[in-house]
């Protein structure tokens, strides 16, 4: 396994390999960039096929967090943690506390939160070993699960994109294909249903699909059939790299935008979407709602500020779509350019202060 020469290692400040045999913990913490502030990012628990897959995931995810904070105007850096293991069978209080101790050893350079495979209740356990944690239960002065806020940000983003693309006043009457009916996907379906959109859904968990059919009058399709659905919008809300060689040519929608992190398997797929006339809404911009909320929890929760930040996702996306169109570049590249500009400005400011 390579680390320093790994293609996703680029520019990482620090990668920590965590091991606690007694607690059964094997984890990685990646801190990508702390120019704007302490690294903030979720802790995922997943039964990775091997250690290399876990490293690949944590490096790509932590880098995405740097860009997410930068594009959203947050004063945080990018980091992420992954615990190697099956959350259904291997998660124990001892393992979570051991993870808390690992986070604590970083003395505030990394602040952790929920992600796939971890829950608000898990963070009450992690909190026993570190105060560098957000997304805590309300009884521990936290703001609970950030997923509804992530879903709301995606909803605002989709509405702004539909306005930009079709001049649509709202999402009423549009068909949206939602992949993944977990914490974010479910809340997004709720918002879309309330707004009068029609839904086609898929999940590897068939009971969730059945519930969506009953609750939202959704059409359900098999997981591999979601890409070719005849819908105006495709919303990936499951795992990453779903926009890849196999799928981008199947898409029949006009807009792709959803909560999943790292949706593009490679940047080339962003260019393919552009040439096919499909508007891709960069993941780290449209899915920033949860980060905006947990960042506010860290700074002293302010619901008005969170509401304004989440509504702002639509405006940020619009600016990115316009700049991508003006320059004939993929939307993902235009979003990276926006985030990099903020980072460069902050580095110049820091250098000036140090001089």
Residues in the site for ligand NAI, rule: CB under 6 A? 115-116, 146-147, 150, 179-185, 202-205, 208, 223, 237-239, 259-261, 287, 290
The residue from 26, 68, 80, 211 that is catalytic is 80
Least distance between ligand NAI and beta carbon 22 (Å): 28
Q: What helix, strand, coil percent values describe the chain, rounded to 5?
A: 45, 15, 35
Collapsed DSSP state (helix, strand, coil) of residue 14: strand
Distances (CA, A) of 163 to 30, 40, 156, 160, 196: 37, 32, 11, 5, 15
Least distance between ligand NAI and beta carbon 107 (Å): 25
The β-bridge partners of 14 are: 31
- Nearest residue to ligand NAI, scored by beta-carbon proximity: 182
Q: Biggest alpha carbon distance in the chain? A: 63
Least distance between ligand NAI and beta carbon 140 (Å): 18
Q: Name which of 114 and 125 has its Cβ closer to ligand NAI.
A: 114
Q: Name which of 105 and 193 has its Cβ closer to ligand NAI.
A: 193
Residues 6+ apart with CB under 8 A from 168: 162, 174
Least distance between ligand NAI and beta carbon 352 (Å): 33
Collapsed DSSP state (helix, strand, coil) of residue 4: coil
Asked if 230 contacts 175 with a C-beta cutoff of 8 angstroms, the reply is yes
Q: Name which of 22 and 248 has its Cβ closer to ligand NAI.
A: 248
Q: Name which of 170 and 211 has its Cβ closer to ligand NAI.
A: 211
Q: Name which of 112 and 261 has its Cβ closer to ligand NAI.
A: 261
Asked if 57 contacts 44 with a C-beta cutoff of 8 angstroms, the reply is yes
Two tokens, residue 151 = 């879903």
Active site (annotated) includes residue 26: no
Terminal CA-to-CA distance of the chain, rounded, Å? 40
Least distance between ligand NAI and beta carbon 124 (Å): 17
Q: Known catalytic residues?
A: 80
């Amino acid at each position: 396994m390579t680390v320093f020469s790994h293609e996703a290692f680029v520019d990482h400040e620090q990668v920590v390999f965590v091991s606690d045999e007694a607690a059964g913990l094997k984890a990685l913490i990646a801190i990508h960039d702390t120019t704007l502030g302490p690294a903030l990012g979720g802790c995922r628990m997943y039964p990775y096929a091997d250690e290399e897959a876990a490293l690949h995931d944590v490096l790509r995810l932590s880098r995405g967090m740097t860009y997410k904070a930068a594009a959203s105007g947050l004063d945080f850096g990018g980091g992420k943690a992954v615990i190697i293991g099956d959350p259904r069978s291997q998660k124990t209080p001892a393992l979570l506390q051991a993870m808390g101790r690992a986070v604590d050893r970083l003395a505030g350079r990394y602040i952790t939160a929920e992600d796939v495979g971890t829950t608000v209740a898990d963070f009450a356990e992690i909190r026993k070993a570190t105060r560098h944690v957000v997304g805590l239960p309300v009884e521990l002065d936290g703001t609970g699960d950030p997923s509804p806020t992530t879903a709301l940000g995606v909803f605002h983003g989709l509405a702004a994109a539909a306005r930009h693309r079709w001049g649509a006043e709202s999402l009423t009457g549009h068909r949206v294909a939602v992949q993944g009916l977990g914490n974010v996907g479910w809340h997004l379906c709720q918002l879309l249903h309330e707004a009068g959109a029609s839904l086609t859904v898929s999940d590897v968990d068939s009971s969730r699909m059945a519930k969506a059919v009953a609750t939202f009058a959704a059409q359900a399709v098999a997981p591999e059939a979601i890409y070719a659905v005849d819908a105006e919008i495709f919303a990936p809300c499951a795992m990453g790299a779903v926009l890849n060689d196999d799928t981008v040519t199947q898409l029949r929608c006009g807009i792709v935008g959803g909560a999943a992190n790292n949706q593009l398997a490679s940047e080339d797929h962003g260019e393919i979407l552009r040439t096919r006339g499909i508007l891709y809404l960069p993941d780290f911009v449209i899915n920033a709602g949860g980060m905006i909320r947990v960042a506010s929890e860290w700074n002293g929760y302010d619901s008005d500020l969170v509401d304004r930040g989440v509504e702002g996702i639509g405006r940020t996306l619009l600016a990115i779509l316009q700049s991508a169109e003006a320059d004939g570049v993929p939307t993902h590249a235009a979003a990276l350019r926006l985030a990099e500009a903020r980072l460069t400005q902050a580095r110049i400011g820091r250098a000036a202060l140090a001089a």
